[in-house]
Chains A and B, each alone.
Chain A
Amino acid sequence: DAGVTQSPTHLIKTRGQQVTLRCSPISGHKSVSWYQQVLGQGPQFIFQYYEKEERGRGNFPDRFSARQFPNYSSELNVNALLLGDSALYLCASSLGNTAVGDYNEQFFGPGTRLTVL
């Protein structure tokens, strides 16, 4: 079975531009989460989507937005790029949401490396 896939692998943009990153979850998984990992640091949570609705949002500005499609794939959009947005963007999928306390393992994709010049 295919794991979590992300596209593109690498991306170079200039300041002020907009970027869209894509994630396809493992077949059957309905939840997608996005994380930003700046070089030398641990990942930071950006968003979680479950059944096409936002279920969680980290401490990121409104320049960051996301959506989930009927097939459970997801896009992360970042507007007005800043140099500080340069990072590895990780997508993780899981079967469901954990609001009721059930454990759902998250499976991570290989990430998209974004460089902002």
Chain B
Amino acid sequence: AQTVTQSQPEMSVQEAETVTLSCTYDTSESDYYLFWYKQPPSRQMILVIRQEAYKQQNATENRFSVNFQKAAKSFSLKISDSQLGDAAMYFCAYRRRFNAGNMLTFGGGTRLMVKP
């Protein structure tokens, strides 16, 4: 079974600074997707960024980028130029690429606080 672990229950960052959230996962599969989701107080889960395991290049979406280390099974999220609106719960998630339907396996989450 796949597991996803987020070892940082809470993180804090000053507005306009950079912060990195950590995630490790365990799988015997070689082909999969990794995701970072944001869940603000409104509760709606929003996709931040996606990484395909077969791609060596790290994904980037505007201020958000990942550091994907497949051999180490590590997948961290870097938020640059942090904004007050970035404050939320962040969840790392895993999904097999084949024969998994749409099943996502989530980590326990990291609460990000942004200080003005």
| Chain A 37-72 residues near chain B, CB threshold 8 A | 40-45, 48, 50, 55-56, 58
Q: Are B107 and A103 in contact (CB under 8 A)?
A: no
**For the complex, what is the distance from the CA of A106 to the CA of B6, rounded to whole Å?**
21
Q: Is A98 an interface residue (CB 8 A)?
A: yes
Interface size of B as a range: 20 to 34
Q: Are B97 and A48 in contact (CB under 8 A)?
A: no
Can you name the residue of chain B whose Cβ is closest to the Cβ of A31?
Answer: B102
Q: Are A110 and B101 in contact (CB under 8 A)?
A: no
Q: Are B43 and A106 in contact (CB under 8 A)?
A: no
Q: Which residues of A contact B4 (CB under 8 A)?
A: 42
Can you name the residue of chain A whose Cβ is closest to the Cβ of B4?
Answer: A42
Given A99-B98, A101-B97, A103-B33: A45 and B103 within 8 A (CB)?
A: yes
Q: Which residues of A contact B97 (CB under 8 A)?
A: 98, 101
Cβ of B99 to closest chain A Cβ, rounded Å = 6
Q: Which residues of B contact A108 (CB under 8 A)?
A: 44-46
The one of A88, A100, A109 in contact with B98, judged by C-beta atoms closer than 8 angstroms, is A100
Can you name the residue of chain A whose Cβ is closest to the Cβ of B9?
Answer: A40
The one of A43, A100, A104, A106 in contact with B91, judged by C-beta atoms closer than 8 angstroms, is A43
The one of B6, B42, B102, B109 in contact with A56, judged by C-beta atoms closer than 8 angstroms, is B102
Q: Is B105 an interface residue (CB 8 A)?
A: yes
**For the complex, what is the distance from the CA of A111 to the CA of B43, rounded to whole Å?**
7
Q: Is A115 an interface residue (CB 8 A)?
A: no
Q: Is B11 an interface residue (CB 8 A)?
A: no
Q: Are A41 and B108 in contact (CB under 8 A)?
A: yes
Can you name the residue of chain A whose Cβ is closest to the Cβ of B33?
Answer: A103
Other A-B pairs beyond A56-B101, A94-B102, A110-B44, 14, CB < 8 Å: A31-B101, A42-B4, A42-B108, A48-B101, A48-B102, A50-B101, A55-B102, A92-B45, A92-B102, A98-B100, A101-B98, A103-B33, A105-B47, A106-B102
Q: Give me the 3 closest cross-chain CB pairs, A-B, nearest first.
A: A42-B106, A108-B45, A56-B101
A contact set with B: CB distance below 8 Å: 31, 33, 35, 40-45, 48, 50, 55-56, 58, 88, 90, 92, 94, 97-101, 103-106, 108-111, 113
